[in-house]
């Protein structure tokens, strides 16, 4: 039998079985195998269609295979994909200029994943603390928030307050001080002369779309200014339109010293992340002090430039506000329903983003996600009792209504 014949008689492939057998079991995916996506819709191997209301944790803010982003990727694939930073390429400079302009800060460290952007910001903030602020060597501290999520590297999980993220992975990097999120007094109390930075998600995504009290970010900005401490905003999930503004910090008119972007910056096509910061922070890094083989590659930069161009138009932000109002209006019935004991303890929304906390007796968020899957809607539990909803910002009003019909029906009759 030739190789070709062997290929043609191969039995139905079993991709999930292969994944079970050969991939590390670090995830517990919902039982659906996706083979195609377009806009807000994805299709499984049997041809069933689903509305994607997770959007790859907001990496798909512009939906699956957005035509403008695919065209930008294809054009760049035909020119140049990778140079390393040993040489210049013609996409990195324009990308950094355009991203600085979008965020309103001076300079960029181009990286690939969100965790790398966080790590890079920690390094830059420590450098700044020693070289500019004058913190004694190896004493710099960074104030963080409880229940934060900033990625999965060993340094980052060291200041996670989730035991599952930490168990068996120590020893951890010292120098981090987690404080309750939303409590500016606790944050200020954790600051001393060694403090380089405060690192926060303006809205805590993985924790269940936790929106801080009004004025919190502005108060944190004021505290940071008073103590000569950098404010680092991790906008990897909250940024690029998700909350109805370019950055979640824009809601409080707060300009951080350092902004971290990732996820949607790659248009759902390529991984690309960035530290965007004030000149005085980034300029503490000299050649040899930091780097990445793929960081700043022309393919990722070309896609990200198209993303930035879309953000500059203001359309994704506008869509997030319009669809977000629709989302909030429709989810309202879940907590305001009279009669039946409510299946929902709380709903939080900001922009086109929601966290739905199930009430005791309504079962787990995992079980609810599985029921929604059976009804053609993809969402994911983000804790035992919280479902996160984050549709593509490009979802149509009709498709969003369709998905919300299913969510309201399913969640309303849980337990």
Ligand X SMILES: *Cc1c(COP(=O)(O)O)cnc(C)c1O
Shortest Cβ distance from residue 247 to ligand X (Å)?
12
Shortest Cβ distance from residue 234 to ligand X (Å)?
5
Active-site option among 52, 159, 252, 263: 263
Are 114 and 239 in contact by the 8 Å Cβ rule? The answer is no
Contact between 155 and ligand X by CB under 6 A: the answer reads no
Q: Which of residues 180-219 bind ligand X (CB under 6 A)?
A: 201, 205-206
Residue 380: active-site member: no
Phi–psi pair at 387, nearest 5 degrees: -105, 135
**Residue positions counted in the chain:** 415
The SS3 assignment for 23 reads coil
Q: Which of residues 320-379 bind ligand X (CB under 6 A)?
A: none
Shortest Cβ distance from residue 372 to ligand X (Å)?
22
Measured at CB, which residue is nearest to ligand X? 114
Give the count of residues interacting with ligand X (CB under 6 A). Answer: 16
Are 215 and 205 in contact by the 8 Å Cβ rule? The answer is no
Question: For residues 123 and 30, what is the distance between their CA atoms, to the nearest angstrom?
Answer: 36
Shortest Cβ distance from residue 6 to ligand X (Å)?
38
Those residues whose C-beta lies under 8 Å from the C-beta of residue 226, and which sit 6 or more positions away, are: none
Return the number of other C-beta atoms located less than 10 Å from residue 133's C-beta.
Answer: 17
Contact between 151 and ligand X by CB under 6 A: the answer reads yes
Question: For residues 246 and 102, what is the distance between their CA atoms, to the nearest angstrom?
Answer: 8
Shortest Cβ distance from residue 209 to ligand X (Å)?
11
Pick the closer one to ligand X by CB: 105 or 411: 105
Shortest Cβ distance from residue 258 to ligand X (Å)?
13
Place of tokens 């305001």: 336
List 61, 141, 237, 317, residue binding ligand X (CB under 6 A): 237
Residue 263: active-site member: yes
Contact between 149 and ligand X by CB under 6 A: the answer reads yes
Which listed range, 111-119, 171-179, 207-215, 291-299, lies at the site for ligand X (CB under 6 A)? 111-119
Active-site option among 62, 149, 176, 181: 149
Are 63 and 392 in contact by the 8 Å Cβ rule? The answer is yes
Shortest Cβ distance from residue 95 to ligand X (Å)?
18
Contact between 239 and ligand X by CB under 6 A: the answer reads no
Q: Which of residues 242-271 bind ligand X (CB under 6 A)?
A: 262-263
Contact between 119 and ligand X by CB under 6 A: the answer reads no
Exposure b/e, 330-358, CB count within 10 A at least 16 = b = bbeebeeeeeeebbbeebbbbbbbbbbbb
Pick the closer one to ligand X by CB: 239 or 362: 239
The SS3 assignment for 202 reads coil
Question: For residues 356 and 354, what is the distance between their CA atoms, to the nearest angstrom?
Answer: 6
Phi–psi pair at 80, nearest 5 degrees: -165, 130
Pick the closer one to ligand X by CB: 188 or 206: 206
Which listed range, 110-118, 121-129, 243-251, 327-335, lies at the site for ligand X (CB under 6 A)? 110-118
Active-site option among 52, 62, 95, 234: 234
Return the number of other C-beta atoms located less than 10 Å from residue 148's C-beta.
Answer: 23
Pick the closer one to ligand X by CB: 143 or 411: 143
Which listed range, 143-151, 287-295, 343-351, 394-402, lies at the site for ligand X (CB under 6 A)? 143-151
Which listed range, 109-117, 129-137, 157-165, 303-311, lies at the site for ligand X (CB under 6 A)? 109-117
Dump the DSSP string for 235-284.
-TTTTTTTTSSSSGGGGGT---SEEEE-GGGGTTTS--EEEEE-HHHHTT
Phi–psi pair at 346, nearest 5 degrees: -160, 150
Which listed range, 148-156, 297-305, 357-365, 377-385, lies at the site for ligand X (CB under 6 A)? 148-156
Shortest Cβ distance from residue 115 to ligand X (Å)?
3
Q: Which of residues 43-102 bind ligand X (CB under 6 A)?
A: 57
Question: For residues 46 and 36, what is the distance between their CA atoms, to the nearest angstrom?
Answer: 11
List 66, 127, 150, 221, residue binding ligand X (CB under 6 A): 150
What does each C-alpha distance from 186 to 146, 182, 252, 261, 381 come to in angstroms?
11, 9, 20, 26, 29
* DSSP single-letter state for residue 207: T
The residue ranges that bind ligand X (CB under 6 A) are: 57, 113-115, 118, 149-151, 201, 205-206, 234, 236-237, 262-263
Active site residues: 149, 234, 263
């Amino acid at each position: 039998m030739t190789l070709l014949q062997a290929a043609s008689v191969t039995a139905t492939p079993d991709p999930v079985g292969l994944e079970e057998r050969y991939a590390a079991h670090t995830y517990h995916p919902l039982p659906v195998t996706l083979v195609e996506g377009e806009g807000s819709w994805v299709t499984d191997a049997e041809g069933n269609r689903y509305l994607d209301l997770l959007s790859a944790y907001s990496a798909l803010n512009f939906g699956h295979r957005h035509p403008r982003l695919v065209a930008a990727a294809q054009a760049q694939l035909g020119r140049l994909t990778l140079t390393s930073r040993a040489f210049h390429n013609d996409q990195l400079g324009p990308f950094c200029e355009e991203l600085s302009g979008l965020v309103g800060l001076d300079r960029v460290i181009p990286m690939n994943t969100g965790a790398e952007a966080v790590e890079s910001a920690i390094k830059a903030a420590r450098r700044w603390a020693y070289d500019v602020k004058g913190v004694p060597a190896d004493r710099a501290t960074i104030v963080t928030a409880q229940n934060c999520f900033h990625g999965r590297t060993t340094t980052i999980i060291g200041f996670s307050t989730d035991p599952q993220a930490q168990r068996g992975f120590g020893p951890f990097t010292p120098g981090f001080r987690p404080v309750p999120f939303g409590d500016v007094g606790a944050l200020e109390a954790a600051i001393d002369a060694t403090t380089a930075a405060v690192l926060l998600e303006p809205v805590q995504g993985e924790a269940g779309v936790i929106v801080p009290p009004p004025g919190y970010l502005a108060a944190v900005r004021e505290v940071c200014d008073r103590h000569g401490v950098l404010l680092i905003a991790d906008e990897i999930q909250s940024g690029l339109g998700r909350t109805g503004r370019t950055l979640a910090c824009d809601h409080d008119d707060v300009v951080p010293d350092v902004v971290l972007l990732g996820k949607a910056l790659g248009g759902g096509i390529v991984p690309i992340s960035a530290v965007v910061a004030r000149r005085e922070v980034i300029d503490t890094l000299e050649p040899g002090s930091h780097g990445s083989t793929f960081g700043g590659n022309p393919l990722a930069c070309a896609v990200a430039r198209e993303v930035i161009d879309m953000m500059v138009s203001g359309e994704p932000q506008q869509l997030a506000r319009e669809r977000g109002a629709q989302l909030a209006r429709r989810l309202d019935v879940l907590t305001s329903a009279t009669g039946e004991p409510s299946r929902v303890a709380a709903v939080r929304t900001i922009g086109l983003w929601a966290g739905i906390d199930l009430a005791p007796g309504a079962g787990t968020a995992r079980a609810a996600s599985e029921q929604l899957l059976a009804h053609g809607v993809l969402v994911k539990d983000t804790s035992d009792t919280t479902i996160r909803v984050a549709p593509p910002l490009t979802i149509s009003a009709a498709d969003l209504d369709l998905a919300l019909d299913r969510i309201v029906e399913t969640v309303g009759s849980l337990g």
